[in-house]
Amino acid sequence: MKEKLMKYIEFMEKNIKADDYEIYISYDENQDTRFAQNSITQHIAGDQTSVFYKCMIDNKLGTYNSTQIDEENLLQVIKKAEEIANNNSPDLEYAPTIAKEDYLKRTLYFPSIENLDTAKMIEIIKKCIDKAESKKAKLSGILSKNICHSIYVTKNGFSDYEHTSKVEISMTMAAGHIETNVAYAHRDFNKMSIDNILSQIEVQFDALSKMENMDFEPIPVILRPQAVNQLFLMCMWYGLQRKSADQGLTPFADKLNTKCLGEKLNFRSSISDPDLPANHYCSDNVYKDIEWVSNGILKNLSTSRDWAYKKNLKPCTAYNVIIDGEGLTEIEMMKKVKRGLIVNNLWYIRLNDLKTLDFTGMTRDGVIYFENGQYKHAVNNFRFNEAFIDLSNRIIATGIPVQLDTTTKVPAMLIDNFNFVDKTSF
C-alpha cells in the first residue's frame, strides 16, 4: 500500500505549480458495529481513500480534498486548490511547511487488530449484552476498528509514511434512573480487556442503585480518570496556547517558567510511552517529548506553526496527554477528607471566560456520596463553575494514571471544595 500511495504523491508533485504545498493521502479500512437496547443494530465495513492538498501561491492559500485518488481526480484536486489560492487574499498567518527532519520511528500498527474480524466483534458485543441482561439493564454503544495507511509530504522536504491501527469501544448501561458509560481505545487489540471494561461498568452501575437527593454545595470531589480527562483537556485546549497568552487573552501572559499552577499538577506529552505510541507529526511540527507543567511550573505553551514563524519560536503541540499521579487508591483519597463526592464523568463543559479560564459543565454517568472513607449512596447530577488555575491549586491528591485511549493517560484527582452551583435533572 505504501508504494501505491507514494505513486499518487509523485504524480501530484509532477503537476503542482504552487510555491509551497503539503499533501496528505490516506487509505482506511474500517469496521463499525453499533448496538442498542441489547441488540446489534448496524454493522458497517468498508474502505475509504482520501486526499488533502494545501497550497500557497504568492502567500495566498488554497485547499481542496477528495475521496477519490485516481490520476484524473488528483489533477482536479490540484487545479481546484490552486484556483482558490490564485483568487484568494494574502494569508497574513502564512508559515512555510515543515522541512525535512529526523524523528524517532514508532510502531503504530499491531497485527492483533487483524484478529478482530466480524465474528469476533459480534462475540464481544454478545458478552457485553449478556452482562447488561444479567443486571436487567439495556446496553447501547459502538465497537470499532480502523487500519490506516497514510503519507504526508511537503514542498520543503518532509515525508512520512504511517501504518496505524486502532480499536475502540464505548457503551452505556441503563435501567430506570441508573445510566453509566465506559469507553476505551488502544492501537493493540491484545491490550483491550473486555473483562476489565465490563467490570468497570458493572461497578459503576451497581454503585448507582441506591439514589438519594442532594443539594448543591462546594464539596471535596474525586474526579475519576474519565472526568479528569474531560475537564483538563478542555482547560488545556483553551488555556495553554502560546498565541492567546502572548496576546494577553489568557491568565498565562508572561507566565512561562513560573509557578502559576498547583504544586500537584504534572502534565506532559511523550512519544515513548508504551501505552500511547504517538504519531510522528502533525502539519505544525514533528512530535517530540515535551513538558507542559511540572509541579505547577508552566514549562511550555502549545505554539502553532504560524505563530512560531512570526515570533521566531519552535512550534509544539500537545499530541497526547499524560498527567502523572502519586499512585493513591480511591479508598486512600476518600480517607483524606471527611465527606465528598465521586464523579465518574463530566460533559457539556463550556468556557465562561478565557481571561480567567472559568468553565462550567455538568456531571454524568453517576455521582456517589462518601463519608468517613465509606461509599454511601448515589446522588443526583450537578452543574459546576470552576476556574482552572484556582482548581489546580486545590488538588489534594492524585491516583494511578490510567490509559483511557490512544492519546490519554491520567489519574483520578481529589480536589477540595469543587464548586457545584446547581442540580441538574439529567
Same-domain pairing of 228 and 266? yes
Cα distances (angstroms) measured from residue 12 to each of 95, 123, 283, 292: 22, 44, 18, 38
pLDDT recorded at residue 393: 97
Same-domain pairing of 178 and 219? no
> Which H/E stretch holds residue 223?
strand 218-223
Same-domain pairing of 160 and 190? yes
pLDDT recorded at residue 284: 83
Q: Give the integer Cα–Cα distance in Å for 323 and 410.
A: 5
Same-domain pairing of 125 and 263? no
For residue 162, which of 153, 173, 170, 172 has the smallest C-alpha distance? 153
Same-domain pairing of 17 and 92? yes
CATH of the domain at 165: 3.30.2290.10
pLDDT recorded at residue 114: 87
Same-domain pairing of 197 and 291? no
Same-domain pairing of 66 and 181? yes
pLDDT in tens, 342-358: 999 999 999 999 999 99
Q: Which of 157, 182, 204 is the last residue of a domain?
A: 204
Could you give phi then psi for residue 287, rounded to 5 degrees? -75, 140
Segments of the chain with pLDDT less than 70:
none
Same-domain pairing of 165 and 245? no
Q: What angle do CA 266, 362, 357 make, to 5 degrees?
A: 50
Domain span holding position 312: 210-424
CA dihedral (416, 417, 423, 424) in degrees, to 10, reads -40
pLDDT recorded at residue 426: 78
Q: Give the integer Cα–Cα distance in Å for 196 and 402.
A: 13
For residue 132, which of 70, 89, 174 has the smallest C-alpha distance? 174
pLDDT recorded at residue 233: 87
Q: Which residues contact 22 (CB under 8 A, 6 or more apart)?
A: 53, 54, 97, 98, 152, 153, 154, 155, 283
Same-domain pairing of 287 and 170? no
pLDDT recorded at residue 103: 82
Q: Which residues contact 339 (CB under 8 A, 6 or more apart)?
A: 219, 220, 369, 370, 371, 372
Same-domain pairing of 30 and 103? yes
Q: Which of 204, 226, 247 is the last residue of a domain?
A: 204
DSSP notation for 24-55: EEEEEEEEEEEEETTEEEEEEEEEEEEEEEEE
pLDDT recorded at residue 275: 87
Beta strand 20-36 with 358-371 is unpaired
Same-domain pairing of 172 and 223? no
Ramachandran region, residue 366 (left: φ > 0; alpha: ψ -120 to 50; beta: rest) = left
Report the number of distinct structural domains present in the chain.
2
Are 364 and 381 in contact by the 8 Å Cβ rule? The answer is: yes
Q: Which of 159, 188, 204 is the last residue of a domain?
A: 204
C-alpha cell at 338: 471527611
Share of the chain above pLDDT 70, in %: 100
pLDDT recorded at residue 36: 97
Q: Which residues contact 195 (CB under 8 A, 6 or more apart)?
A: none
Q: What angle do CA 140, 141, 146 make, to 5 degrees?
A: 160
pLDDT recorded at residue 262: 96
Same-domain pairing of 221 and 183? no
